[in-house]
Chains A and B, each alone.
Chain A
């Protein structure tokens, strides 16, 4: 088997390649046939400067490219953890196709890595393991090419619906070509299940391309012995980090069940919509707490889906601390107008001006929201209020029911919560009591971001990387503004930051980040080692039970 290739020919400059990618994208348009895409590559690139990425889950992409560009390099990520069948596929590809299979090797063998980092790193830290055995070796190898082919298809995931045929791959610094981007594939479950694991390399000579197992988006993940529900030793856990669907011959999941299985985001969305509809059906006067923050934006988006094509049938309520980011207030107003909603605002400033609330010594206004909130609920006779609280945010939130009863004083009694079985929610309450409803209780921060990406939901710009004057306090970056001025010993610098939460300016910190787009944020959140509140909320750090105390008092 060929090892790393001989030094690649001198490569053209990045600017030149970038221009070429743009020209190619323009020439080929949105859905040129794969043959034309490959022909364009053939016209514009020398064979040694071109690579095909292949998981050996399938052989369609190498077969396609080799047909027009015989002798092309095919990169195989040799993690050392593949199923024997995957290696067999690789060998058959090498033997039967006119390609040059290049094993992309990590720095260390499995044995060396075990010695250095301990055995079975994949099980303990999949991210690190993948970085060492897949990502870094691939990046190193790609540096020797001008262009790479991948087998990405737009119908594989909602996040891939915008995959171009030809683009500039900024991360790896070369042209990326997805000749199969426009291909579709219906009923993946069915084909996948019909495909005997060992047959795929031999299968492709006679079969039309669209029948090849390669068309399964991740066929390789399922190669190998049939999965058993229990007792299976996982030899190849690194092979597919997102692989989650469970297919077992023994459990007799039928094709229809396979085709209707929901993703975790769909399941969460469905649950949230059910909750929103229940509350609207069972309560007289619900309202949705809307701050312009990402959780409330997602909640409002879910509400629009729940009642389509009707309007969202309740007003939104915002407690304005008077220290909100102006961008967020602007976003709030635009959103409310766009959806034709009624906005009710409770103002902390007004309570302070009237002398009913006193500014705190630390200047933080988040804890002051409770009184105006309860006042607005009472004044407007809201009997149910939707909140964007998530159980992954805090230990006290992790305990709260989806429908949570508040007494006349808005207080939560954590020791005496009602049973809440299945998807039945008990909204019964007496006059003066109200209910807080948390439709996105079961979402994590990462779920929220993936959903924002998938649904293309607009957020205030603060959530994405931008330059800002900040100073360090309490281990966080605080924005310089009217309400948060640096002390004499705190130095102001300009940093590229973004916000993970957008609460009160006086106590919300920014994090250093280069996440300029929603996909960047998804990656960043997935890799983060700090909780959202721990990273950005000074007021939750006050004590172990900070959130519980505030919730008992009627805070969200």
Chain B
């Protein structure tokens, strides 16, 4: 639900709201769920019956002692086990709106064991808020989260130094942590890589200082409150869609022939109008496209084929242009054989195809990633088999140096090389990586496609440890830059 004001139509402003996705991450007991509860509560996103239920449960558990406060964390911990243990296990998605924006909030778990869930929540976020307990400062889990965010190429990283009330609103404590955070940022390239920015804010989630409103108890801090930041940061697509080259992984081919939608038939006087209709359906992952643009169709094992965009269709209307993240159907001037897994890209922006994949990754499966292991690589709309040739190293979270390793355990961050299995004779990756060079990988002369692993389904048949290596298919390809090993 939202907090939007209700006005007579004429008083409403006309531009519709945009969407902003953000996630929260932190170590156990950093007060993350409380912060989220505070944001929801103070922005009036909690409706009366939900608040009643939370107040009842808080009272039952004697939260806040005699004063009878509300345990804001109960607002987000949705699973029985979470409420029982008082920790967050999986990402909880929450929705609220202010007069500025509609928000999707992914409240991620802090425990190292649930990093895979944090990765899930952060992957779609325009911004991530990392919490630090002011009494504890930067912890290993903080360093892990910041590394993961760098890996995911999250555009905006906000570090909230929480429980500032418990250190008596001390400026020196805050400045010390701020300096540590900036140091970590420098080592990781966060905030200085031209992709992300890094901001540090002192907050008290429990009391609300600098969460929605700027606090008078931190006079030494002149920056914005957290919600102010979230309301004004540009979303990733707003930042990027004009910077990047057009990329369109084909999801499926729309070729109805006889099976036309009744309303499409009704709308068209000519029943034959769609007889030869053929369009490629997908979501634009980067950049924008116009009718008449020159594009290349990238198919594994084939040289790029160049043609022009004949039409952009969406549910009965024809568009002149479209941009990420729109879902559309594209018609091409030439009748190529194009199928799911192929990519349509702006002509002249495609790098050479390669059979080698060098990936910086965070391993999310309980079964370790080992050299020689067979994996699946999901790459745009295509899934291919590959084999891990070598694991080049694993990140030491204390030094951020890559140390020698031959396998990656759950939650390890490391580098691996995985040429696809059953490589075509030509030695090409089944789908040529349609990625462009980013500032970050200028120094690296290899193909980097920012592959990151997911976890395979549990209980694979025949006990094979096939894992999903997943690529970033989307606008997030800005995250393709690989880090020098």
Q: Is the CB of B19 within 8 A of A398?
A: no
From the candidates B223, B259, B471, name the one contacting A230 in the complex (CB within 8 A): B223
Shortest distance from the beta carbon of B53 to any chain A beta carbon, whole Å:
7
Residues of A373-402 whose CB lies within 8 A of B: 391-392, 394-399, 401
Nearest residue in A to B380 (C-beta to C-beta)?
A424
- Given A217-B13, A429-B457: A126 in contact with B99 (beta carbons within 8 A): yes
Interface status of B102 (Cβ within 8 A of chain A): yes
* Complex: A491 Cα to B6 Cα, angstroms: 34
The interface residues of chain A lying within 8 Å CB-to-CB of B49 are 530-531, 534-535
Interface status of A273 (Cβ within 8 A of chain B): yes
Interface status of A156 (Cβ within 8 A of chain B): yes
From the candidates B117, B234, B283, B455, name the one contacting A423 in the complex (CB within 8 A): B283
The interface residues of chain A lying within 8 Å CB-to-CB of B166 are none
* Complex: A311 Cα to B471 Cα, angstroms: 31
Q: Is the CB of B242 within 8 A of A256?
A: yes
From the candidates B4, B251, B264, B470, name the one contacting A424 in the complex (CB within 8 A): B470
* Complex: A523 Cα to B6 Cα, angstroms: 6
Interface status of B405 (Cβ within 8 A of chain A): no
The interface residues of chain B lying within 8 Å CB-to-CB of A525 are 1
Q: Is the CB of B261 within 8 A of A421?
A: no
Interface status of B406 (Cβ within 8 A of chain A): no
- Given A311-B259, A399-B78, A523-B6: A446 in contact with B1 (beta carbons within 8 A): yes
Interface status of B304 (Cβ within 8 A of chain A): no
- Given A442-B93, A531-B49: A313 in contact with B259 (beta carbons within 8 A): yes
Q: Is the CB of A160 within 8 A of B14?
A: yes
- Given A414-B79, A420-B120: A131 in contact with B92 (beta carbons within 8 A): no
Q: Is the CB of B18 within 8 A of A267?
A: yes
* Complex: A339 Cα to B265 Cα, angstroms: 11
- Given A309-B277, A529-B48, A544-B53: A241 in contact with B79 (beta carbons within 8 A): no
Nearest residue in B to A272 (C-beta to C-beta)?
B327
Interface status of A271 (Cβ within 8 A of chain B): yes
B315-343 interface bits toward A, Cβ cutoff 8 Å, 1 = contact, 0 = none: 11000011101110100000000001000
Q: Is the CB of A398 within 8 A of B93?
A: yes
Shortest distance from the beta carbon of B152 to any chain A beta carbon, whole Å:
8
Shortest distance from the beta carbon of A440 to any chain B beta carbon, whole Å:
12
Interface status of B291 (Cβ within 8 A of chain A): no
Interface status of B59 (Cβ within 8 A of chain A): no
Residues of B196-240 whose CB lies within 8 A of A: 199, 212-213, 222-224, 228-229, 232-234, 237-239
Q: Is the CB of A526 within 8 A of B4?
A: yes
Residues of B438-485 whose CB lies within 8 A of A: 452, 454-459, 461, 468, 470-474, 476
Interface status of B364 (Cβ within 8 A of chain A): yes
Most A C-beta atoms less than 10 A away, residue of B16, B364, B474: B16
Nearest residue in A to B256 (C-beta to C-beta)?
A310
A120-137 interface bits toward B, Cβ cutoff 8 Å, 1 = contact, 0 = none: 100111110111001100
Most B C-beta atoms less than 10 A away, residue of A268, A305, A312, A421: A421
Nearest residue in A to B265 (C-beta to C-beta)?
A309
From the candidates B100, B237, B455, B458, name the one contacting A244 in the complex (CB within 8 A): B100
Shortest distance from the beta carbon of A94 to any chain B beta carbon, whole Å:
21
Residues of B246-285 whose CB lies within 8 A of A: 251-252, 254-256, 259-264, 268, 274, 277, 281-283, 285
Interface status of B354 (Cβ within 8 A of chain A): no
Nearest residue in A to B92 (C-beta to C-beta)?
A398
Looking at A28-36, A43-51, A231-239, the stretch in contact with chain B turns out to be A231-239
From the candidates B3, B261, B454, B471, name the one contacting A127 in the complex (CB within 8 A): B3
Interface status of B400 (Cβ within 8 A of chain A): no
Interface status of B352 (Cβ within 8 A of chain A): no
* Complex: A248 Cα to B232 Cα, angstroms: 9
* Complex: A131 Cα to B364 Cα, angstroms: 50
Nearest residue in A to B52 (C-beta to C-beta)?
A534
* Complex: A544 Cα to B83 Cα, angstroms: 10
* Complex: A26 Cα to B356 Cα, angstroms: 71
Interface status of A481 (Cβ within 8 A of chain B): no
The interface residues of chain B lying within 8 Å CB-to-CB of A429 are 457
Q: Is the CB of B321 within 8 A of A428?
A: no
- Given A157-B16, A263-B16, A529-B48: A246 in contact with B123 (beta carbons within 8 A): no
Q: Is the CB of A253 within 8 A of B12?
A: no
The interface residues of chain A lying within 8 Å CB-to-CB of B259 are 310-311, 313
* Complex: A79 Cα to B256 Cα, angstroms: 56
Q: Is the CB of A308 within 8 A of B316?
A: yes
The interface residues of chain B lying within 8 Å CB-to-CB of A304 are 261, 263, 315
Q: Is the CB of A396 within 8 A of B78?
A: yes
Interface status of B139 (Cβ within 8 A of chain A): no
* Complex: A199 Cα to B259 Cα, angstroms: 57
B64-95 interface bits toward A, Cβ cutoff 8 Å, 1 = contact, 0 = none: 00000000000011111101000001111111
Q: Is the CB of A422 within 8 A of B474?
A: yes
Shortest distance from the beta carbon of B438 to any chain A beta carbon, whole Å:
17
Interface status of B17 (Cβ within 8 A of chain A): yes
Interface status of A260 (Cβ within 8 A of chain B): yes
Interface status of B47 (Cβ within 8 A of chain A): yes
The interface residues of chain A lying within 8 Å CB-to-CB of B99 are 126, 237-238, 240-244
- Given A135-B7, A338-B262, A339-B262: A242 in contact with B15 (beta carbons within 8 A): yes
Shortest distance from the beta carbon of B175 to any chain A beta carbon, whole Å:
18
Looking at A275-283, A322-330, A353-361, A463-471, the stretch in contact with chain B turns out to be A275-283
Shortest distance from the beta carbon of A81 to any chain B beta carbon, whole Å:
12
- Given A262-B326, A415-B89, A534-B49: A234 in contact with B364 (beta carbons within 8 A): no
Interface status of A409 (Cβ within 8 A of chain B): no
Nearest residue in A to B324 (C-beta to C-beta)?
A260
The interface residues of chain B lying within 8 Å CB-to-CB of A129 are 5
- Given A229-B233, A416-B458: A339 in contact with B78 (beta carbons within 8 A): no
Nearest residue in B to A257 (C-beta to C-beta)?
B242
The interface residues of chain B lying within 8 Å CB-to-CB of A534 are 47, 49-50
Q: Is the CB of B5 within 8 A of A245?
A: no
Interface status of B25 (Cβ within 8 A of chain A): no
Interface status of A527 (Cβ within 8 A of chain B): yes
Interface status of A419 (Cβ within 8 A of chain B): yes
- Given A126-B99, A135-B7: A265 in contact with B16 (beta carbons within 8 A): yes
Interface status of B11 (Cβ within 8 A of chain A): yes
The interface residues of chain A lying within 8 Å CB-to-CB of B425 are none
Shortest distance from the beta carbon of B264 to any chain A beta carbon, whole Å:
4
Interface status of A264 (Cβ within 8 A of chain B): yes
Q: Is the CB of B228 within 8 A of A134?
A: no
Interface status of B378 (Cβ within 8 A of chain A): yes
* Complex: A422 Cα to B50 Cα, angstroms: 30
Q: Is the CB of A241 within 8 A of B238?
A: no
Q: Is the CB of B314 within 8 A of A305?
A: yes
Q: For the complex of A and B, list the 9 residue pairs with the smallest distance between their C-beta atoms, beginning with the closest.
A: A395-B78, A310-B256, A156-B14, A263-B16, A309-B264, A534-B49, A305-B315, A217-B14, A244-B17
B interface residue numbers (CB < 8 A to A): 1-19, 42, 44, 47-50, 53, 57, 76-81, 83, 89-95, 98-102, 104, 116-117, 119-120, 123-124, 199, 212-213, 222-224, 228-229, 232-234, 237-239, 241-242, 251-252, 254-256, 259-264, 268, 274, 277, 281-283, 285, 288, 313-316, 321-323, 325-327, 329, 340, 364, 378, 381, 452, 454-459, 461, 468, 470-474, 476
9 A-B pairs with CB atoms under 8 Å apart are A176-B10, A244-B99, A256-B242, A274-B283, A280-B252, A311-B256, A395-B77, A414-B81, A534-B47
A interface residue numbers (CB < 8 A to B): 53, 77, 120, 123-127, 129-131, 134-135, 138, 150, 152-153, 156-157, 159-160, 171-172, 176, 188, 217-218, 221, 227-232, 234, 237-238, 240-246, 248, 251, 253-254, 256-257, 260-271, 273-274, 277-278, 280-281, 304-313, 338-340, 391-392, 394-399, 401, 405, 414-424, 426, 428-430, 441-442, 444-447, 519, 523, 525-531, 534-535, 544-545, 548-549
User: Told that A246-B232, A251-B239 touch, could you supply 18 new A-B pairs with CB distance under 8 A?
Assistant: A228-B232, A238-B99, A242-B14, A257-B242, A309-B256, A338-B263, A395-B77, A396-B78, A397-B78, A398-B76, A414-B81, A419-B117, A421-B123, A422-B473, A426-B378, A531-B49, A534-B50, A545-B79
